[in-house]
Each structure stands twice: as structure tokens, then as C-alpha cells.
């Protein structure tokens, strides 16, 4: 009987000893988890979304048109979207019936184009001569002042585009006069605010003149500027001249840029407004840069295999009622 008790005691001690050893090993493992790495499968991490200012190469292939002394050429070229800016000059001018018609057709397509580029983190710059009167404290204007300051080069500060001097070169018989009876270009019905039809995101930039436009492109570190919108040919010309001073690569979207010829004074030289507008675009292709069609541009965007982001938009109610004070 005594032997059986001793055997039971020995068995109990062995079990106790084994339990202590197991607990001690568990304690050591919990204290030093790096030992587990040898046995665990590596965790797959999601790829980082890389947006603007990334050192990675993100070439964007577009089909452009260029004109020189030898003729008209269509070439495929690549640009880096991290060095690209979208410029929207959509003049809201309710004094002019023609401008209103063009705005109706242009703005949905321009909004679509801007949305597609915003999704790729390409900045959008808007111009309005009255931005400091109506939208001085907006996020977009504060951001605009910052990039204008960063791009305030001496060569731009001293340069004066004097666009009016060059009209005779590409607009025969140009006169700065409204062609519609009982209306005037600088009367009380002229409105320089942003058109309410163009969407504005929180990451967009506001500038107030043509010199600031070029400075903003420099401040954003841009090498390529894509033009959208409608404005008089003299105003587009002024921006082109400033950009040329600092060697920027200019690209106009031919079917989304209207130079707004005053056709009444060009009818002896061109058959219709479209022909006149083509003449302005051709002049641009010869003297300033290259052009692209919106259809080809959208195809390039769809083929561009980079992550998209969702822009956040703002509503500016103070631009919605033009004649409330008249």
C-alpha cells in the first residue's frame, strides 16, 4: 500500500513538473513574439496609392496636332501628369448672346474633362478678373495666392503681354466692339464672375489675371498646360505670351476652346464662326504649341492605368444670381 502511494506521488510530481515547463515556455513565447515570425506567413500589404509629386514615372500618351512650314503633323507624345496643369478660362458674359450659347454647350463637356483630370490629381486653375471682389477668402483663392507667390519670377513680373498689338497678325479687321445692338462689352450687364455652370473642387486654384495665370503654373511646378474654355482671342493670346516667356509646353483642346471671334468683323475673311475659330487654333499650333481633340484626350485618360481619387466639390451661392442688384 505504501509503495502505491509513493508511485502516485511520483506521478503527480512528474505531471506538475511538466505543467510548469509548459507554462514557462508559453511565457517565454509571449515575451519574445519575434520567434513566431519564422513560422508565420508574410502578410500581403495593399499597394500604396501614389498621386501628385511622386518620383515615379507616370507618362501619359496623347495624340496631338502641330503645324509648321512643312505642313500639318499628328504625333503621339508623352507628358508627365505630375507636371501638368488644367487651365479653365470660361468667361461668364451675359451681355453676349453668342457667349451664352457657347457656355450652354461647352460647360458640361468641360466639367467632365476637369473631373477626369481631378481624379488623377491634376490641379485645375480658374481665372476671374473679379475673384478678389467676390471670392477673396475662399480656399481656392488663398491657395491661388500661394502658388502665384511661389511662381513670381522676375521675367514674368517685368513682361507685359500687350496682346492687343498682335491681333492684326491673325484677326484681319479686328474691332473690340460688341456686335449686338444696344449692348456693350463693358456696360453694366457685363459679369466677370465665375460661371455657375463650371464645377469647382476644394483643390482647385483661383487667379485673377493673365500674368497670375502663368505665375500659378510655375508655382505648381508645371511643364505642360492644357487649355479649356472660352474667352476672347486676345485674352487667350495674353496667357500664351506669358507662358512662352518661361518655356511652358502649351496644349489646347481644339473642340473645348473657343476664341470667341466677333464674326461680324471677320465675315469678309472667313465663311462662318467655326472657320474663324479654326483659324485662331491653327495660329496657335504654328506659334505656341500643339492641340488635341477632347475625344482623343478622353481615350488617353481611360487607357491611363493609375489610381483614381474622388474630388470634393464646393458650392458658391454668391455667383448664382447675376442681376439681383440691378
Burial tier of 215 (Cβ tally within 10 Å: 0-12, 13-18, 19+): buried
pTM of the model: 0.74
Distance CA(172)–CA(160), nearest Å, equals 23
Residues 159-174: pLDDT tens digits? 988 755 655 555 555 5
Cβ atoms of 219 and 147 within 8 Å: the answer is: yes
- pLDDT over threshold 80, residue 142: yes
pLDDT given at position 36:
43
Fold of 82-323: Rossmann fold (3.40.50)
- What are the residue ranges spanned by the domains of the chain? 82-323
Angle of helix 139-150 relative to helix 210-219, nearest 10 degrees? 80
Return the C-alpha cell found at 315: 458650392
In angstroms, what CA-CA distances link 115 with 119, 121, 125?
Answer: 6, 10, 13
* CB burial readout 109-145, b (16+ within 10 A) else e: ebbebbebbbebbbbbbbbbeebeeebeebbbbebbb
Alpha-carbon dihedral sign for residues 133, 139, 142, 146: negative
Helix pair 294-303, 97-119: axis angle to 10 deg: 10
pLDDT in tens, 197-249: 788 999 999 999 999 999 999 999 999 999 998 776 677 888 989 999 999 99
Cα–Cα distance for residue pair 239/214, rounded to 1 Å = 7
Amino acid at each position: 500500500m505504501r509503495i502505491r502511494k509513493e508511485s502516485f506521488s511520483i506521478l503527480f510530481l512528474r505531471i506538475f513538473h511538466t505543467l510548469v515547463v509548459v507554462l514557462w515556455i508559453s511565457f517565454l513565447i509571449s515575451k519574445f513574439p519575434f520567434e513566431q515570425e519564422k513560422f508565420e506567413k508574410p502578410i500581403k500589404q495593399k499597394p500604396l496609392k501614389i498621386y501628385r509629386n511622386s518620383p515615379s514615372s507616370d507618362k501619359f500618351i496623347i495624340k496631338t496636332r502641330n503645324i509648321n512650314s512643312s505642313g500639318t503633323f499628328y504625333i503621339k507624345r508623352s507628358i508627365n501628369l505630375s507636371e501638368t496643369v488644367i487651365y479653365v478660362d470660361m468667361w461668364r458674359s451675359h451681355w453676349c448672346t453668342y457667349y451664352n450659347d457657347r457656355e450652354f454647350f461647352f460647360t458640361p463637356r468641360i466639367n467632365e474633362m476637369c473631373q477626369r483630370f481631378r481624379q488623377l490629381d491634376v490641379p485645375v486653375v480658374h481665372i476671374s478678373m473679379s475673384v478678389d471682389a467676390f471670392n477673396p477668402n475662399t480656399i481656392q483663392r488663398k491657395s491661388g495666392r500661394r502658388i502665384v507667390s511661389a511662381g513670381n519670377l522676375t521675367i514674368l513680373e517685368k513682361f507685359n503681354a500687350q496682346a492687343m498689338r498682335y491681333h492684326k497678325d491673325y484677326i484681319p479687321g479686328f474691332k473690340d466692339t460688341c456686335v449686338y445692338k444696344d449692348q456693350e462689352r463693358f456696360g453694366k450687364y457685363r459679369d466677370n464672375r465665375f460661371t455657375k455652370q463650371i464645377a469647382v473642387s476644394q483643390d482647385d486654384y483661383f487667379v485673377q489675371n493673365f500674368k497670375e495665370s502663368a505665375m500659378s503654373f510655375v508655382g505648381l511646378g508645371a511643364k505642360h498646360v492644357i487649355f479649356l474654355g472660352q474667352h476672347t482671342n486676345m485674352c487667350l493670346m495674353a496667357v500664351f505670351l506669358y507662358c512662352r516667356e518661361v518655356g511652358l509646353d502649351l496644349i489646347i483642346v481644339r473642340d473645348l476652346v473657343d476664341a470667341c471671334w466677333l464674326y461680324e468683323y471677320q465675315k469678309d475673311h472667313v465663311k462662318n464662326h467655326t472657320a474663324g475659330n479654326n483659324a485662331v487654333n491653327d495660329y496657335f499650333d504654328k506659334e505656341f504649341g500643339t492641340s488635341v481633340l477632347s475625344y482623343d484626350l478622353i481615350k488617353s485618360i481611360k487607357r491611363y492605368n493609375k489610381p483614381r481619387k474622388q474630388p470634393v466639390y464646393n458650392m458658391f451661392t454668391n455667383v448664382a444670381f447675376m442681376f439681383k442688384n440691378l
